[in-house]
Structure 1
Amino acid sequence: MTLSYGDEYPIHQTPDPIAFSGTDRNFYDRYFFNGYAQDGTGFFALAFGVYPHLNVADAHFSFIRDGVQHSLHASCELGMERMSLKVGPISIEVIEPLKALRVTIAETDGIAGEFEFTGRSFPIEEPRFIHRIGSRAFMDYTRMTQNGHFTGWITLDGVREDLAEGTMGTRDRSWGIRPVGARDPQPNPGHEALQFFWQWTPINLEDGSLFFHINADAHGNAWNTRAAFAPDGASAGEIIEGSASLSSQTQAGSRWPAGGVLSGISPQGAPQELTLVPLERFQMKGLGYTHPVWGHGIHHGPVKVEREAYELDSLDPAQFDNRHVQMICRIEDDKGNAKGVGVFEQLILGDYAPLGLEGI
């Protein structure tokens, strides 16, 4: 049986039932959220992924308390029902499409929470990410991104903390092709060495949202990049697109960013230059990214849930699964005045000449 709840809605893209998404086994459909107080404290994040051709869904909730990052990982067999936004204790409810969502984490192993996200403007649509490594399609996906405000609470081992007034952050939705599930054992002749460079800086300013991202090759040539500014309350037609450049350095002995300067910001309404000053580090493996056990789309049986925690100061920056990070940043103008708060996400694998990086 392949019919599911989704087939009741006029959302089909092919003659197949909604349970099927083309023919590529790496198709995925993902929700992502992060949030923080106006001073950059209280960081939390959540990722929720559906992998129709692997018949798996997974979800991850992770947050920082007193220098320790706590995570709750969950995985289940999808049962070909893509409209069920629930994996173990973690569920998502769409309150108003493209505007408001609610996330619930039922109490499990001492972790619980609930938060509601409301967008500051209409989401931006980023340029389609299409990238091949030799003859093999590595990525082909679309992503929409939206800054907004959060209300809610998080409980850790019986201690409940309400989200600070004015908590804000970012959420995105992406769907398409990425490497998911078990790694492909077939070699890619002539392209054995992995190279990937990614920077993303969603920023909450006082009167709007600024977005910048770049994917680049080993020589620093961008194959996907854009800047966009969304004034508060902006409709789809009022989002201003343009360009920018990000100069940055890595922390000594690591591939973690040591801050950066966004310059040449061209979208009208946004400052022309902003400095990103790191306040705290969040490890993306807490959401499954490059996690050696809880990688996205891995089959763990009918249902599996696991709690994990690690002290941020004790992690080895050279370890592969520790390289993908989000730095919570204070945003300053060229005179050092505070302009907002945001995130600097970075993942660098392999060579990257502009920063003098070589090898995996």
Structure 2
Amino acid sequence: MLIPFDDYPIHQTALPLAHTAGGHPNHYDRFWFNGYTEDLYFAVALGIYPNRGVIDAAFSVVHDGVQRSVFASGRAPIDRTVTRVGPIGIELVEPMRVNRVRVHAPEHGLVADLEFTTRTPVCEEPRQTRWSGTQLTMDVTRATALGGWTGRLEVAGHQVPLPPRVWGTKDRSWGLRPVGDPTPTAPDNAVPQLFFLWAPLNFADGGLHFMVFEDGQGRPWAQSGSLLPLLGEGDPVTGGPGREVQHVEMAHRLRWMPGSRRSAGAELSIRLPGGTEVVELEPLLTFRMRGAGYLHPTYSHGRWHGELVVDGEQHGVEELDGLALDRVHVQQVVRARWRDRVGLGVLEQLVIGPHAPSGFAALLDGAPQQGAVETTHAT
């Protein structure tokens, strides 16, 4: 089946672009954006799962102590240029550089018309591949860019004034990842395990990005550290001469909040030619990723709900504390201090199952009351 993009010379296989190269049910292609100030956070996710025939999206805001979300799910369009479902849409104004997010769900207290403009080169993270025995469970490419937002946001019927500087992140990822209802497999008695940190940080003169996956012993199996310069006028989104992404060796030190799997503070160390430098991260605000569909008990990614379903929810942020599976995946807005710079970014944390350096032994046990301190050197 053909779509308009088939007229471009961009094919990677003999298949039309509407078809994936393989029939794995967990193939996905997703947009993710966040935006934040010290006391406001919003996020939008939109994913297409062609082998499940599903498109879904969510928009969520943390404001005045409340996390509000709207979810939409429907039948996936054949034409992949259609990036809208129900009241949520993403427009590629200029690929990789300018995107527009529109949401119209006043019945769920959310209306937005926001534009994201990339301010750093797009950073391609290392391919993330994971096997469970003979089963390929994850095979993902992710591209991350830092940027800023302008536009209009309305929450609970009231316009939220946006300051001149609203920083954020664009994340485009695609490949294979557990989505939708699980496919039947042989029983596995092992406790599920995942340790993931993701930290895109905006500074006035550029950005910094850190990512790591670790096994239960704290050994990294995918990782990256990147310095992101500002794009100059006319620079390509991959960076102009002298403005390319610079990959560096980084490590993390995380202080867990006692009784939780949420950070009480963190440090990132960067190995540079002149020596090791430390970036201190101070949490300011917490967003539970269930608000954008991640591990949501009903609207998790890739599930079939019918031709079109739109729903919403709201919670006081304190109601979302705890160690439930749908609450441990978080992004914290963090104040970042690096040399004389003070920036703003997020520290995403998803820690399920054992992780020896943190003192976690079960599926969702919390940090010891004295507070666990973890150090991992990413190489």
Residue 133 of structure 1 is matched in structure 2 by: 132
Residues 99 and 122 of structure 1 are in contact (CA less than 8 Å); yes or no, is this contact kept in structure 2? no
Q: How far is the alpha carbon of 1:139 from its aligned partner?
A: 0.8
1:35 equivalent to 2:40? Answer no
Q: How far is the alpha carbon of 1:355 from its aligned partner?
A: 0.4
Residues 285 and 291 of structure 1 are in contact (CA less than 8 Å); yes or no, is this contact kept in structure 2? yes
Structure-2 change in CA distance of 1:141 and 1:268 (3 Å)? farther
- Which of 31, 41, 44 is the matching residue for 2:42? 44
- TM-score (norm. length: structure 1): 0.94
Residue 256 of structure 1 is matched in structure 2 by: 262
CA distance in 1, matches of 2:172, 2:132: 24
Residue 209 of structure 1 is matched in structure 2 by: 207
CA distance in 2, matches of 1:236, 1:296: 36
Residues 106 and 157 of structure 2 are in contact (CA less than 8 Å); yes or no, is this contact kept in structure 1? no
State, as a whole percentage, how many aligned pairs show the same letter: 38
1:247 equivalent to 2:253? Answer yes
Amino acid at match of 1:233: L
- Which of 97, 100, 107 is the matching residue for 1:99? 97
CA distance in 2, matches of 1:180, 1:114: 28
Residues 229 and 268 of structure 1 are in contact (CA less than 8 Å); yes or no, is this contact kept in structure 2? no
Amino acid at match of 1:113: A
Structure-2 change in CA distance of 1:347 and 1:269 (3 Å)? farther
Alpha-carbon RMSD across the aligned residues, in angstroms, is 1.8
CA distance in 2, matches of 1:313, 1:231: 37
CA distance in 2, matches of 1:182, 1:107: 27
SS at match of 1:321: coil
Q: How far is the alpha carbon of 1:314 from its aligned partner?
A: 2.0
Amino acid at match of 2:260: S
CA distance in 1, matches of 2:138, 2:93: 30
Segments of 5+ residues of structure 1 without an aligned counterpart are none
SS at match of 1:292: coil
Residue 111 of structure 2 is matched in structure 1 by: 112
Residues 216 and 224 of structure 1 are in contact (CA less than 8 Å); yes or no, is this contact kept in structure 2? yes
Q: How far is the alpha carbon of 1:6 from its aligned partner?
A: 3.1
Residues 93 and 103 of structure 1 are in contact (CA less than 8 Å); yes or no, is this contact kept in structure 2? yes
Structure-2 change in CA distance of 1:121 and 1:348 (3 Å)? same
Residue 359 of structure 1 is matched in structure 2 by: 362
CA distance in 2, matches of 1:267, 1:101: 33
Q: How far is the alpha carbon of 1:111 from its aligned partner?
A: 1.5
- TM-score (norm. length: structure 2): 0.89
SS at match of 2:5: helix
- Which of 229, 232, 247 is the matching residue for 1:231? 229
CA distance in 2, matches of 1:96, 1:258: 38
Residue 235 of structure 2 is matched in structure 1 by: none
- 5 Å matches for 1:5-44? 5-22=4-21, 23-37=23-37, 40-44=38-42
CA distance in 1, matches of 2:272, 2:103: 38
Residues 28 and 47 of structure 2 are in contact (CA less than 8 Å); yes or no, is this contact kept in structure 1? yes
- 5 Å matches for 1:83-232? 83-109=81-107, 110-189=109-188, 192-232=190-230
Q: How far is the alpha carbon of 1:277 from its aligned partner?
A: 0.4
